Structures are given as C-alpha cells and as structure tokens.
Amino acid sequence: MKDSNFLKEKNARSLWHPMAHPADSLNNPPTIVTGAEGVRIRDVDGHEVVDGVGGLWNVNLGFSCQPVKDAIARQLDVLPYYSTFRGTTNDVIIELSEVLREFYEPDGLTRAFYTSGGSDSVETALRLARQYHKVRGEAGRTKFLSLKKGYHGTHMGGASVNGNANFRTQYEPLLPGCYHIPAPYTYRNPFNETDPEKLSALCLQALEDEIAFQGAGTIAAMIMEPILGAGGVIVPHESFMPGVREICTKHGILLIADEVITAFGRSGSWTGSRHWGVQPDLMCTAKAITNGYFPFGAVMIAEHVAEVFEKDTSGAAAIGHGYTYSGHPVGAAAALACVAETLRLNVKDNAAARGAELYAGLQALQGKYEAIGDVRGGEGLMTAMELASDRGSKAPIDKQTIGTVQEVAYQNGAMVRVSGPNIILSPPLVLTSEDVQTILTALDAGFAAAA
Ligand code: PLP
C-alpha cells in the first residue's frame, strides 16, 4: 500500500473531482478511502469511522452485503453484458422488471425504463414526459416546473430543472422553458413563513400562479423530490406533495417524482411518494437500487402513461432515447439481489427508528451549540443541520468553522458530509443505535472544537 502523502500528490496531479474546485485536491486533499465493512469505512492511514454519508445516499445495506456482491460476480461469469436496444433483451432484466412491477405496484407504476444512474433517470423522465404529450397530440406542452433548492442531477435537462445556482450558472444557457417554484423550506423562504402548513399552502399557490402565468397547455411536467435531499433535507408539510399532485392532475401536467434518494426505504417508507400518499406519473430511481455497488437506475412509468405510448399506432411513441447500459445484466443481477435483501431486512422500519434517534440527537446538539441554526429530518434516515454564524440573522457560517466540525467529527469516529452551510447525514439504513450514538458523539466533539 502506497503511503497517504504519495497518493494525495498523485490524486491532485491526475484527476478532477465532481463538485469541487480542481485546486481543492492540492490545498485540501480528500480522504483516501481504501476499505469498508458493515457501516464503517477505513482510510489509507487505517483510521476507521462510521459512514454518516452512506457512500452518497446509496449504500443503504452497508458495505458488506454479500448477496449483492455474489450476484454481481455470478452474473459477470454468465453474461457480463448485452444490449437491450430494439431486438435483444436478457433474462435478468426481465426478472428484475417483474420484481420492480410488484415493488412499485402501490405507487401505480408498472413499467421500467433502465438507465445508468440518477442523472440519466431524470433526463429519461423529462424526455418521456415531452413525448407523452406529443403522442397525445398536445405538442405545445414542453415546459418543466420544479422546486427551488431541488437537485435533479447534472445532465443539461436535470441542471435546467435544478433549483440551486451552484449547479447552473457556469453551464448556462440551459434548457429554455424551465421555471422554479419556492420550496417549502421553513428556515428561509420568500414569504417569511415558519409554519410548515401555511408555507405549504403558499408554495402551492405559487405553483398555481406560475401555471396560470405560463399557461397550463404549455407545461409538460413538474419534477420534485418528495423530500429534498441535496438541497439540505427539506421536509415538506404532509399537505405539500398531495397538493402538487392535485394541481398537476387538474391541469394535465405530469408529476415526476425524483426518488433517486428516497426510493427503497430511506424516508422510512418504501418510496417517498408512498410516504406522502401520492401516486406520481413517472418516478426516477437509481442509487440504492444496487446498494451503490453498480451504476444503475430506472424510470418507473405509471400504467396510464404506459398505455398512451403502447396504444399509439402513428409511430410517434417509438422511443428515440436510451443508453448503452440500459438494462445492463450485471446491474440487473445486483438490483435483484439488492431489492430482495432490502425487503428481507425491512430496512424502511430501521430507517424510521434510527432516523428518529438521530434527529432527536441533533436537536439536543442544537440546544448546546449556537452554530446550529436549523435541524431538519424526522422522516427516515435523511437529516441535516444548517449552520449559521448568528442564530438571529441566520447569517451563513464560514467555511473554516464548518470544516473544523467535519474534520474533528472524522477524528472522533464519523464521516459527515458538508454541502454549503449544511451538514448532511444519510447513513446506511442498517445502522444500529450504537452507530447513531457514535455519529452524535463525534459531532459533539466537532462542534465543541469549532465553538
Ligand atoms: N436526483 C436526485 C434527487 C439526486 O439526489 C441525485 C444525486 O444525488 C440525482 C438525481 C443524480 O444522480 P446521479 O448522481 O446518480 O447521476
């Protein structure tokens, strides 16, 4: 094994990281992870910590999920790749489609279109939404609506519906015809409304107003995360997603649920949409579908949307979209094993129970440390703290302070993620209460050092 300094130097010399300034690797070298077991990761220096990030919201079953590893190895032996473009398919992807059909039956989703990850899933859903309206003879429905603070990946379509300038500005011009609605974000919103239910009503009214302004007949779809993840775990009031569903239905607008994070149990329910009692028209999934062990994703399609495509006789419904890795047999085998394990372990219940412990622990830390302006979560294992340098004015925290919290937490046993002013926690769903305590104790040490 090469030593840490040697690897850091090579890392800075030869690769660029997503979501980082290229010079960061030199000035602030990343942690070099060389091994992982259970819910713990190990760095090149042999230091082991609980992974409060869960890889990147995706390693729901931890790093030692043998059935998924075995399934990948077996499939590599039998059929390592074949295309699912018109004319060929494979046995594993057929089996997976039947399993997913059953898994998503309560969400009303009965067909799958496969992708290589979350951004691909978003791009696919946006394209299918436009095509759906064209097939139905409403070619004028081309625009998209989404939430400010929403995150929908990095393809040009996804970036266009993203609601955070950091992922947009340097890549403009993006897709025309994308409009953003205020998110139900109680800590900061244009209405200065702190009551979640009232804020939900205001945001729904803003959606209605935007639809009226644009003209309902010009809008293809509204895309949203049931709980906003990367934007800092913004949990809407329970009235919000049902309200969006109702408005979309009223105006003939498709509702795309971006569940790249929330599908497969993270919200404490099997899907975020189900959590709020909503059936979307299209659902984007990826990440935990293979426990992060293989790049893979799927767009799930509602029966009534599928019928529009399948009954078309004009040729307009032929899908001119897809990826070399759509329906990859190794991804399919990984997903089959992963869904089986996810259900066998019933991880959604552990996500809800451990999530409640983590959320309560973070609230206790907020009572102790002035820097914690807001604590969000309470629905499964997705929680965030928004740091402020002053609670009254909510002035954002400086980079150095939040960096100290993260670094000292790491030294004390937990990897946590910093995104802007937020510390985000999205650990594996197989976490124990002891692991939750480890994360909380490590963060306590981090805040004490930064205070
Ligand atoms: N959509 C949501 C809600 C996400 O959280 C992410 C990634 O975090 C994506 C889309 C993009 O997924 P990927 O990074 O796999 O392309």
Name the band, by pLDDT with cuts 50, 70 and 90, for residue 304: very high
258 lines ligand 1 (CB under 6 A): yes
User: For residue 383, what are the β-bridge partners?
Assistant: 425
How many angstroms does the Cα of residue 287 sit away from the middle of ligand 1? Answer: 8
- Determine the pLDDT at residue 209: 98
How many angstroms does the Cα of residue 177 sit away from the middle of ligand 1? Answer: 21
pLDDT reading at 2 higher than 80: no
Task: Single out the residue of 8, 60, 85 nearest to residue 355, CA to CA.
Answer: 60
123 lines ligand 1 (CB under 6 A): no
User: Greatest CA separation found in the chain?
Assistant: 67
152 lines ligand 1 (CB under 6 A): yes
Name the band, by pLDDT with cuts 50, 70 and 90, for residue 310: very high
93 lines ligand 1 (CB under 6 A): no
d(CA 127, CA 121): 10
pLDDT reading at 382 higher than 70: yes
- Looking at the CA of residue 120, tell me the nearest atom of ligand 1: 16
Q: Does domain 67-344 have CATH number 3.40.640.10?
A: yes
231 lines ligand 1 (CB under 6 A): no
352 lines ligand 1 (CB under 6 A): no
> Residue 301 — left, alpha, or beta (φ > 0 → left; ψ -120 to 50 → alpha)?
beta
Name residues whose C-beta falls within 8 Å of residue 292's C-beta, 6 or more positions apart in sequence: 55, 56, 58, 59, 60
How many angstroms does the Cα of residue 178 sit away from the middle of ligand 1? Answer: 18
Strands (DSSP E) along 24-152, which ranges? 33-37, 40-43, 48-51, 109-115, 143-147
Q: Which residue minimizes the CA distance to atom 7 of ligand 1?
A: 153
- Determine the pLDDT at residue 244: 99
Name the residue of 114, 122, 259, 282 whose CB sits within 8 Å of the most ligand 1 atoms, as the mutation to test its pocket: 122
Q: Which residue has the tokens 């039956």?
A: 105
Name the residue of 287, 294, 296, 422 whose CB sits within 8 Å of the most ligand 1 atoms, as the mutation to test its pocket: 287
The one-letter amino acid code at 430 reads V
- CA-to-CA dists, residue 278 to 6, 151, 275, 283, 429, angstroms: 51, 20, 8, 11, 23
> How many C-beta neighbours within 10 Å does residue 264 have?
27
- Looking at the CA of residue 225, tell me the nearest atom of ligand 1: 3
Q: Which residue minimizes the CA distance to atom 1 of ligand 1?
A: 152
How many angstroms does the Cα of residue 335 sit away from the middle of ligand 1? Answer: 17
- Determine the pLDDT at residue 321: 98
226 lines ligand 1 (CB under 6 A): no
Q: Are 331 and 398 in contact (CB under 8 A)?
A: no
Q: Structure tokens of 301?
A: 């399609």
How many angstroms does the Cα of residue 399 sit away from the middle of ligand 1? Answer: 24
d(CA 362, CA 310): 49
261 lines ligand 1 (CB under 6 A): yes
d(CA 149, CA 234): 9
Q: Structure tokens of 247?
A: 């408005």
122 lines ligand 1 (CB under 6 A): yes
- Looking at the CA of residue 230, tell me the nearest atom of ligand 1: 5
- Determine the pLDDT at residue 1: 58
402 lines ligand 1 (CB under 6 A): no
280 lines ligand 1 (CB under 6 A): no
- Looking at the CA of residue 117, tell me the nearest atom of ligand 1: 15
How many angstroms does the Cα of residue 339 sit away from the middle of ligand 1? Answer: 19
pLDDT digits (tens, 9 = 90+) for 74-123: 999 999 999 999 999 999 999 999 999 999 999 999 999 999 999 999 99
Where do the structural domains in the chain lie, given as residue ranges?
31-61+346-450, 67-344
How many angstroms does the Cα of residue 260 sit away from the middle of ligand 1? Answer: 6
Mean pLDDT of 251-261: 99
pLDDT digits (tens, 9 = 90+) for 119-157: 999 999 999 999 999 999 999 999 999 999 999 999 999
Instruction: Please give the CATH topology (third level) of the domain spanning 31-61+346-450.
Output: Aspartate Aminotransferase, domain 1 (3.90.1150)
Task: Single out the residue of 165, 84, 153, 167 nearest to residue 125, CA to CA.
Answer: 153
- Looking at the CA of residue 295, tell me the nearest atom of ligand 1: 15
Q: Structure tokens of 45?
A: 């220096």
Name the residue of 259, 260, 291 whose CB sits within 8 Å of the most ligand 1 atoms, as the mutation to test its pocket: 260
How many angstroms does the Cα of residue 167 sit away from the middle of ligand 1? Answer: 12
- Determine the pLDDT at residue 3: 85
> How many C-beta neighbours within 10 Å does residue 235 have?
23
Task: Single out the residue of 44, 33, 38 nearest to residue 63, CA to CA.
Answer: 38
- Determine the pLDDT at residue 211: 98
How many angstroms does the Cα of residue 153 sit away from the middle of ligand 1? Answer: 5
- CA-to-CA dists, residue 317 to 73, 195, 414, angstroms: 37, 45, 49
55 lines ligand 1 (CB under 6 A): no
pLDDT reading at 387 higher than 70: yes
For residues 187 and 396, the model is more confident at 187
